[in-house]
Every structure is written in structure tokens, then in C-alpha cells.
Chains A and B, each alone.
Chain A
């Protein structure tokens, strides 16, 4: 029976092997680090969402000021418009800096599992902001709404996401207004015609975030949940707000249970439904399988999935305990090749870690360099930073990632980019062990020796199937 393996611990559950940071000695050490302080986040800081909210406020202020400037006054208009564009661009630039720091966390952490889990849950709760500025909010959203909850109860993460302005924006919730809400009644339906009930978030809540596709819910549950969720919104500075006057009055019934209905609608009442959805057995089954697929492979061991599911149900959805269950199960350590394909972020992250790329390898405010070295290559590999195609996040299916054109992008990167981040590339003969910990095939061992130069040798090792799998 397979047992804990430090090399596999870094490759499969961490951010890859490092020439300078030792692999964890056992699963207990992994859990201790994961449940301990988030030291790497303190070392490579990423803006939290309240701070990002100040950017929203500022852009809003400039936009309003611009609206007051007479367009006929060309000089004045041009000046304020320039200010507006600069303010917008600052979000775009900051987004790339946060991307770099996210990679630096992967390179220098002793707690790779935390980075992997943050990515997993950020993907589970994909939120694609609308508009020039909110489109850049991915990292602050993850930092504030998701990262603090990785080892707590799923219900807490869920309720945190439900209150996250980026998610409310992404799924149109902030516009959703009850048909019989006070505001509609007061102002007359016609004046409020931009607002009405919107089912988008309620549907994704059931389908993607909790019960799962094919879960035990009906269109009526979607509708009732949408009515219950009216009022969840945010203010101009990106702070959660419960807008009581948007709320649909009366109680709603979701999955056979009544929620809300007190004379004064309260956010607290609405939150009760998420406590129940979080511990629903269908949610346990959905999340357990998804975790197993992400960390183990497209067809995970049924016993392992059942083990996670049982732990989830026993603990009321305690994610730390579920991760512990994952690490203690023998199937987690079975070295069945071929392993999962690394997604582009894992591929680049583990390459940078194997190369031990230092924080000063480039200027983290140099947007152009960050685009060339990370952002555009990620797009070509099929993974635009923080912005999947839809709210269902990135695909897990291996074949999705290794198509000819996406592989071509990985090959380009493996050959050309390491040389831009390391003044001197390591000797491929040694690097093959650093990167793969003794898991290289004879063909790769040979290629690492036979390559005509260091650049090609490093490229071959990073491009090899054994490095691109985990």
C-alpha cells in the first residue's frame, strides 16, 4: 500500500520541488504548516479587497467629475479623461504585480499546499468582474474572501464569498431586486425598470458552488433562492451591503425549508440558507469528488472520494479535516503514471520554483516584462490570469490542456523564458534531479546530457511529460 512520499508531497500537493527548500517530512508537517500562520502572504503582500475598494471609489469619483466637464472645453476634458484612464490603468498594472507575487509565493513557500488550495477554491468560486476595474480584482478577492478560510468550515468560506462584492458583481446579484420589494413599490416598477429579479447567482450557487450539476434541486428552488438573495449588494467603495429595500418580502422555501419572513428582512436570515447548503450531503459528495479530481487525477479512486465525503459529513464540512483525510488516504500516495496534467499556473509556478527564481529577477512594476514572461504565455497556454471562460472555472480534463497549440505555448515558454529570469541557467544534468526528484525517464536523463546548450537542456526538462504531470 502506498505511503507518504516527500517528493510526491511537493509535486502533487505542493508547488513542485525546490533546490533550496526541503520537502515536508510527513503529512503532519504539511498540516501544521497549513494550519499555522500565513507567513508567505506576509512576505509577498497582495492588496486586500477593502483597499481595492478605494480604487473603485477613486475611479467613480473621477468618472463623475469627468461627467461634469463640458466636452466643448477640450483641454479640460482631455485632462480629466487622462486622469480617468490613468486610474483605470493602475488596476491593470497592479493586477500583474499581484500575479508576480502569487508566483513568488509558490516559489518561496514551505507550505505549497496552501497555495494550491487557495487556487482550487478561487477556481471553485470563480468570479469574473465586469468593467475595466473590477475585471482586475481577482487577487484582492481571493486574498480577502477565500484565503482566510482554507482550513475552516466550508460554510464560512461560502458565506464570505456570498458577501464578496466581486462575486455579487460577477453574477449580477447586486442588481437583483424583488418584484414586490419596497423600492419597486415606492418608486413604481417603471422607474426601476433596470432592476428586477435575477436568478444568475442563485442558479450558480446550487449548480456550481454547493449541490452540483444534477443535484437535488428544481427550477422552483432556484427561483425561491433568488428571491431570498435579493438585497445582497455592495456600495461604491466595494463594501458588502444588505439593501433591505431590494429584498423580496415574505419567506422563501428552498429545498423544502422556509427562510426569512420576519417583518424586517435581515442579511443574517438570508445567511442561514448557506449554512444548510454547505452541509448538505450532495454538497459533500460534489466537493469531495472535485477535490480528488483536482489533486489526484481525472478518474480518482472511489475509496478515496468516499473517505473525503465521510469526513466532510462527520465534521459538518470542516475543510481542514477533509484535507487531513485526503493526505492520510493511501490512494493519495499511489504513484500511478501518468499523473494529472499541471494547469498552466502550476506548470509555470513549478518551473520557477525548480529554477529558484528570486523576487528581484525582474522589476515587479515592469508591466511589459510581466506580460512577456508570464501574462501572455499564460493566455497562450489557455489560462488568462484569474479569468476563466465562465463561472464554472478551469477545466480539469487533462486533454483540455495539452492540445497542439497550448503545448506549443508551453514549449515556447520552457525554451525562452527561464533564461530571462536567471542570469545563469543551472547545469541540466543536475537540474533534472532538482526538478524531478529521481522521477525522470531514461530518455529524459539522456536528453538532459545530450542537449546542445543549457537553454535547450532546461527547456527539455521543463517540457518533459514527467515534469508537466503531477
Chain B
């Protein structure tokens, strides 16, 4: 997400400040409610989060030996105890109040069906496609297939947020795709009309233009007047402060944008966070990444507001876990079993779900990775069933074809 900017940064780079909203022929957005009121946010962590460092199993006697020199419970900014067996990474400390309220939870030792090759790109494709045919991930995403089965879905029911497109949301159901701060820029009403004609016969361009017009309009209408003042500079590049904000602040702009959409008529939002591929120097690298994730979850809570947050579940997933042992460069390599992070006012949290496989040599996968004891898709499936009332038939047949849902982990209030 390092490419994104916050809204203030955008205003300084925008060609025209706020005049695009004035285009007289932009169709007003028609907001249609989905058949349910619950909200779901899916966050993909790209690069493979080390689940054993995020949710540390200090209750396992072997753990300390696998991770020499890493912070221990009781150390300054070390991991925080979660009731004896597990401790969560110190960088998640800002979320501790949510844990105490039952708004934060984890699932340990989960994975997709992907095994052995440990490629990020394949792993992410399988995670987001949610199904494979002949060993290849299918071409649409599971969140999109979920939407395909729901009547009354409109263009703004679901949002893919940010500048990177997501397979998770790709497919036949309409999904809005927008990065906060994008803008069509400077075209006159007459110019726009000609542009529509020029693009009319090319569906890829025509549809993208339609959507960009709608979103540009809605985005402009949302601008907080206070942030507009001083932001109306013409044709200037990112100012130095905005440039500084870009790598550190982009994730927050995305979370807030998603939260604002969910506070309105949107029901689903998805985006991804990078920076989890901690092959070397994991201590610092994972702290940064988890710190950004903490920011994002806090911002989702504050921007949805208490009422909508109470109906919201956040599911954080990654393509696979990492090796149990630290490698020679104080990082971890691509592994298998990993962790999920869950949040939201709709969550029955305050616990670490999942069947713990143990860390003894014989209990590891290939003697190197955490053994997955459940399918990460199963947890997502049960949560969608409880949030949206989807049938098991739809979940096991269409959304995650071939998945077998065992006992309900009852993660939703």
C-alpha cells in the first residue's frame, strides 16, 4: 500500500481540487441496500505473515528454543499474555482493549489446501480464488462468488479498496474498486461526453469510466471541508509532508475510506496490506507490519462508528505461515500452517480458536512448518453463514467448492 496517499496528500496533487464534482451530467449514485445489515471486511496480508510470531504459543515447551533472542512475555514491548498458553505480538498492544471486550480474536494453525511449493503468488491466488480445478486456482474470487448468489447486489454493495486489484473480489458480481484520492481530473462536461462516446464500444474502458465517474463524484462529495482548506493548490506535486505520509499513511486512508463506505450502504470491503515477507530481521520488520495492521483495525472501528462496528466482522488472512525455526538471517522462510486475525463488534472474540498441533519435531509439517489442523476457508465460511445467513449448500458448493464445514466455531455473536 506504499503507493497510496492520504486524502490531504491527494488534494495537493490533484489537478483541479474539487471541481470535478460539479460536472452537471454525473448520475447521482443510487444506493441500494443488500438483503442483510451485517458488514464484512476481508484483509489479505501479502507476503505470508508469521502466525507463530503474531500469536505466540509460549505454552508449548519447544517454542522458546525455536525462537532464540526474540522478545519474551514480560519484556518491555514484548508479547502480551492472552490467558496462559498464547501471547500476542507486542506491536498489537493497541488492540488489547478490543481483546478484553471480545472484539479481537485469533485462529491458530490454519492454511489453504496449498502445500509444499510455498510460492507467494500461487499461495495468494489459491487463498483469494478459494477453489482449485485441476490444481489451478479458479479465475474468480470467493468473495465475488458469494455476492453472485445474493439478489439485489448493486455496484456499491462491495468495495475493493486501494490501488492494487484483488483476485478475491474479481468475478461476475458488481464490485466497486476505488482508491481514496483518485480523480478523473479537469475534463469539461463537453469533453466528458466525447470521452464517453470514444469509449462506448470498448467494454473494458466504458465500464471503468462509468465507475470512475460515479466514484469520483461520491469521493468528492465526502470531502471534509476542513481538510479542503489550503488543499486547493493547482498542479503541484506531492508536498514534502504528503510524500512522507505516503508510505506510512496510505494504509490508514484506505481503512478510513472502507469504514466510511461501510457506515453508509456498503456491506463488504476488501483490501490488502504488504510487508509480511520477513526473510531477514523479522523482529523489526514484523513489528512494522503488525503496527500498520493495528492502525487499520483501530481506524476501521473509529470510522464505522459504534453502531456499524457492532455489526462488523473483520477477517485477516494470509497465504501461508512461515517456518517454525528462525533462519540464519534472523527471519523465517515460507512455511505452511499460519494464523488468522479476527476483529469487529460482531465477533465473539477474546479467544484463540483452532486445534493446536504441537511443536515437537514429529508434530511439524515436513519437520519444518506448523502443521495445519484446519482449512482457513472453513472459518471464513462459518462466519459468512452466521453474518449473512448463507446456506451450507451455497458455501460448500459454490463459494468454496469442495470445502467440508465441520463444527461451527461460533465466532459471530
**Do A443 and B204 touch across chains, with their CB atoms under 8 A apart?**
no
Q: Which of A338, A379, A389 contacts B204 (CB 8 A)?
A: A338
Q: Beyond A372-B237, A403-B208, A450-B194, is A456–B328 a contact (Cβ under 8 Å)?
A: no
Give every chain A residue within 8 A of B67 (Cβ-Cβ): none
CB-CB contacts of B197-230 with A at 8 A, as 1s and 0s? 1111110110011011001100000000000000
For residue B66, CB closer than 8 A to chain A, the reply is no
Q: Please give the distance in Å from B124's CB to the nearest CB on chain A.
A: 9
**CA separation between A390 and B275, bound complex, in Å?**
10
Q: Beyond A460-B191, A465-B199, is A197–B182 a contact (Cβ under 8 Å)?
A: no
**Do A405 and B163 touch across chains, with their CB atoms under 8 A apart?**
yes
Q: Which of A200, A392, A411 contacts B195 (CB 8 A)?
A: A411
Give every chain A residue within 8 A of B266 (Cβ-Cβ): none
Q: Beyond A194-B329, A392-B121, A460-B198, is A415–B205 a contact (Cβ under 8 Å)?
A: no
For residue A207, CB closer than 8 A to chain B, the reply is yes
**CA separation between A135 and B176, bound complex, in Å?**
33
For residue B183, CB closer than 8 A to chain A, the reply is yes
CB-CB contacts of A425-461 with B at 8 A, as 1s and 0s? 0000000000000000101101100111000100110
For residue A463, CB closer than 8 A to chain B, the reply is yes
**CA separation between A371 and B12, bound complex, in Å?**
13
Question: Which B289-346 residues sit within 8 Å CB-CB of chain A?
Answer: 327-330, 333-334
Q: Please give the distance in Å from B165's CB to the nearest CB on chain A.
A: 6
Q: Which of A177, A402, A405, A415 contacts B179 (CB 8 A)?
A: A405
**CA separation between A463 and B208, bound complex, in Å?**
13
Q: Please give the distance in Å from A92's CB to the nearest CB on chain B.
A: 11
Q: Could you say which interface size class chain B belongs to? A: 35 or more
Give every chain A residue within 8 A of B15 (Cβ-Cβ): 412, 415-416
Closest residue of chain B to A369, judged by CB? B237
For residue B108, CB closer than 8 A to chain A, the reply is no
Q: Beyond A338-B202, A404-B208, A443-B201, is A390–B177 a contact (Cβ under 8 Å)?
A: no
Give every chain A residue within 8 A of B118 (Cβ-Cβ): 203, 219
For residue A48, CB closer than 8 A to chain B, the reply is no
**CA separation between A446 and B328, bound complex, in Å?**
65
**Do A196 and B185 touch across chains, with their CB atoms under 8 A apart?**
no
Residue of B69, B198, B212 ringed by the most chain A CB atoms within 10 A: B198
Give every chain A residue within 8 A of B200 (Cβ-Cβ): 443
Residue of B194, B215, B330, B333 ringed by the most chain A CB atoms within 10 A: B194
Q: Which of B121, B163, B327 contacts A197 (CB 8 A)?
A: B327
Give every chain B residue within 8 A of A237 (Cβ-Cβ): none
Closest residue of chain A to B211, judged by CB? A404
**Do B237 and A379 touch across chains, with their CB atoms under 8 A apart?**
no
Instruction: Specify the main secondary structure of chain A where it touches its partner.
Output: helix
For residue B184, CB closer than 8 A to chain A, the reply is yes
**Do B185 and A194 touch across chains, with their CB atoms under 8 A apart?**
no
Q: Please give the distance in Å from A351's CB to the nearest CB on chain B.
A: 15
Closest residue of chain A to B135, judged by CB? A214
**Do B188 and A456 touch across chains, with their CB atoms under 8 A apart?**
yes
Residue of A218, A372, A450, A463 ringed by the most chain B CB atoms within 10 A: A463
For residue B235, CB closer than 8 A to chain A, the reply is yes
Closest residue of chain B to A199, judged by CB? B333
Question: Which B4-39 residues sit within 8 Å CB-CB of chain A?
Answer: 13, 15
Q: Please give the distance in Å from A422's CB to the nearest CB on chain B.
A: 16
Q: Beyond A412-B184, A464-B199, A465-B198, is A193–B237 a contact (Cβ under 8 Å)?
A: no
For residue A66, CB closer than 8 A to chain B, the reply is no
**Do A404 and B327 touch across chains, with their CB atoms under 8 A apart?**
no
Give every chain A residue within 8 A of B330 (Cβ-Cβ): 193-194
**Do A459 and B191 touch across chains, with their CB atoms under 8 A apart?**
yes
Closest residue of chain B to A196, judged by CB? B328
For residue B279, CB closer than 8 A to chain A, the reply is yes
Question: Which A36-54 residues sit within 8 Å CB-CB of chain B?
Answer: none
Q: Which of B119, B197, B211 contacts A213 (CB 8 A)?
A: B119
Q: Which of B163, B188, B199, B280 contacts A406 (CB 8 A)?
A: B163
**CA separation between A411 and B187, bound complex, in Å?**
8
**CA separation between A265 and B195, bound complex, in Å?**
63
Give every chain A residue within 8 A of B327 (Cβ-Cβ): 196-198
Q: Please give the distance in Å from B134's CB to the nearest CB on chain A.
A: 11
Q: List 14 A-B contacts (CB under 8 A).
A: A172-B329, A207-B121, A341-B204, A372-B235, A402-B204, A404-B208, A408-B216, A412-B183, A415-B15, A443-B201, A456-B194, A465-B198, A465-B201, A465-B202
Q: With A193-B328, A463-B199, A465-B202 given, name 10 new contacts (CB 8 A).
A: A175-B328, A219-B116, A380-B163, A382-B163, A399-B165, A404-B208, A404-B212, A411-B187, A444-B198, A465-B205
The 10 A-B pairs with the shortest beta carbon distances in the complex, nearest first, are: A196-B328, A412-B185, A405-B182, A465-B202, A404-B212, A404-B211, A447-B194, A372-B237, A456-B191, A407-B208
